[in-house]
Amino acid sequence: MLRSIVHSVSLAFVSGVVLSAQTATHEARAKEIFKQLVEINTTHSVGDTTKAAEAMAARFKAAGFADADVRVLGPSAKRGNLVVRYRGTGAKRPMILMAHLDVVEARREDWSFDPFVLTEKDGYFYGRGVGDDKAQAAIWIANLIRYKREGYKPDRDIIVALTADEEGGGPYNGAQWLLKNKRELIDAELCLNEGGWGEALGDTRLSNDVQVSEKYVINYRLEVHNKGGHSSLPVADNAIYHLAGALDRMSRFGFPLKTNDVTKAYFRAMSKIEKGAISADLAKVADGDTAAMTRVARASTAWNATLRTTCVATLLEGGHAKNALPQLAAANVNCRVLPEDRVDYVTSALKQVFADSAVTVTVEGTPQGGAPSPMRDDLMTAVTDLTNALWPGVPAVPMMVMGGTDGMYLRPAGIPTYGVQGIFYDRDDIRFHGRDERVKVQSFYQGQTFLYELVKRLSGGPIA
């Protein structure tokens, strides 16, 4: 569970680790790797994760890693994953440091900068993937090379796994592919991954979140078919109108607000962090008060998404000519589902909301949710201590993340996965998947230091 320990060595930690000249070298290397990763396009459309994996493999080999411990592998030419093993004494089972190499599409015309050039401006790094997930990928690489240079001997193997196709588009999610085809390369006792970050409000750091649970994803294909006809003879039975009506009804619908064990712990912790009237409401949310949940959900998009399953229209198609009645109208509805809500429940709730038998609703693929990871004492203690040392007074908070990560494959496969980064983002300005994605320069480097120490703590290293 959560603790609040003011670590006695915090000053030594800050002066000894954060401010040393050596740190500057490690930061420069991390930035160089970060830049290289951002500037290799790894989108689904034209990108190539193999290229990124090979560029990083070359760095590991140049740093003295054995060829056999640096593997680039995957299901197809442009969907490579990188798996690197840093050998420990073997006293404990390995741990994985995971990040995904692929990024969401980004169009130059939508952005203020070229999304595939790392731009540093006004204290931020801009570029596609700077937050999701190339900062963490760059940090894992830079830190592993640093351990090697320092001759660090962990008590377990440390595996860096940088994967393809986390963002979808398929056909092979890298983590899933590795579990299925190369399990021996990534078999581990635990995994650190994306999905938990530091929450800030402007410049004020609120909490360092540890993701132990996550929502899962269901994509629905909605279709309306119609015989069509000439547009000069319109009728009420129109495919586009059927679809638009169903989507409009969905836009005004909300799934029930509720909590589970992890989100209760999260809201309890947040009630101690937040100031003003909302603080009392957050405590009431942790106690199950539904009126307070309504107010809290209204106060923040992120809290709304923490309190309920959400569904939103994301893609639309329809019609075949300007002067023809549409024969097809279709949409994708993307749902982010609480772990305790079943697929059948979500499907039937949506069908009731659509309330139109002309709209067919199909679940894409086989959605999968997983039970939360156990709250490991070693992990929660290490995160709490390091958070206190780096950012005194900021609590470490267990949480359920709204978006899906590769944790959804690893947890059911028996590898407890924790999203933790120590990289802080403004809670009200999260730009993952959006335009002008950015991360604070200072947050990037502090995340590097935090993760360097965290991995050491979890692999028998000396306490800084």
Q: Which is nearer to Zn ion, 132 or 385 (CB)?
A: 132
The rounded distance, in Å, linking the Cα atoms of 175 and 264 is 29
Q: Which is nearer to Zn ion, 194 or 274 (CB)?
A: 194
The rounded distance, in Å, linking the Cα atoms of 218 and 396 is 30
Cβ proximity of 342 and 216 under 8 Å: no
Strand 229-230 vs strand 324-325: parallel, antiparallel, or unpaired? antiparallel
Cβ proximity of 338 and 194 under 8 Å: no
Q: Which is nearer to Zn ion, 281 or 406 (CB)?
A: 406
Q: Of the ranges 62-70, 129-137, 336-344, 442-450, which one interacts with Zn ion (CB under 5 A)?
A: 129-137
Give how far the C-alpha of residue 293 lies from the chain's centroid of Cα atoms, to the nearest Å.
Answer: 24
Shortest Cβ 70–Zn ion spacing (Å): 23
The rounded distance, in Å, linking the Cα atoms of 84 and 70 is 5
Q: Of the ranges 130-138, 241-249, 300-308, 357-365, which one interacts with Zn ion (CB under 5 A)?
A: 130-138
Shortest Cβ 257–Zn ion spacing (Å): 26
Shortest Cβ 444–Zn ion spacing (Å): 16
Q: Of the ranges 101-109, 132-140, 277-285, 391-399, which one interacts with Zn ion (CB under 5 A)?
A: 132-140
Hey, which residues between 328 and 367 contact Zn ion (CB under 5 A)?
A: none
Shortest Cβ 163–Zn ion spacing (Å): 10
Lookup: tokens for 322: 């300007």
Beta strand spans in 297-411 (E): 310-318, 324-325, 328-337, 360-363, 396-401
Shortest Cβ 3–Zn ion spacing (Å): 29
The rounded distance, in Å, linking the Cα atoms of 126 and 138 is 15
Indicate whether 133 belongs to the interface with Zn ion (CB under 5 A): yes
Strand 328-337 vs strand 204-214: parallel, antiparallel, or unpaired? unpaired
Segment holding 438, helix H or strand E: strand 438-440
Cβ proximity of 394 and 206 under 8 Å: yes
Helix count (H) and strand count (E) of the chain?
15, 19
Shortest Cβ 464–Zn ion spacing (Å): 29
Q: Which is nearer to Zn ion, 104 or 273 (CB)?
A: 104
Q: In 10 A of CB 420, how many CB atoms?
A: 28
Q: Which is nearer to Zn ion, 211 or 306 (CB)?
A: 211
Hey, which residues between 404 and 443 contact Zn ion (CB under 5 A)?
A: none
Hey, which residues between 183 and 222 contact Zn ion (CB under 5 A)?
A: 194
Number of residues that bind Zn ion (CB under 5 A): 3
Cβ proximity of 49 and 40 under 8 Å: no
Shortest Cβ 356–Zn ion spacing (Å): 35
Q: Which is nearer to Zn ion, 48 or 194 (CB)?
A: 194
Angle between the N-to-C axes of helices 441-457 and 377-390, in degrees from 0 to 180, rounded to the nearest 10: 140
Q: Which is nearer to Zn ion, 141 or 278 (CB)?
A: 141
Residues in contact with Zn ion, shown as a per-residue x/- string from 98 to 127 under the rule CB under 5 A: ------------------------------
Q: Which is nearer to Zn ion, 163 or 310 (CB)?
A: 163
Shortest Cβ 100–Zn ion spacing (Å): 6
Rule CB under 5 A: choose which of 132, 157, 214, 437 binds Zn ion.
132
Q: Of the ranges 128-136, 230-238, 325-333, 451-459, which one interacts with Zn ion (CB under 5 A)?
A: 128-136
Q: Which is nearer to Zn ion, 135 or 292 (CB)?
A: 135
Give exposure, 334-345, as e/b (b: 16+ Cβ within 10 Å): bbbbbbebebee
Shortest Cβ 72–Zn ion spacing (Å): 20
Using CB under 5 A as the criterion, which residues of the chain lie in contact with Zn ion when the complex forms? Answer: 132-133, 194
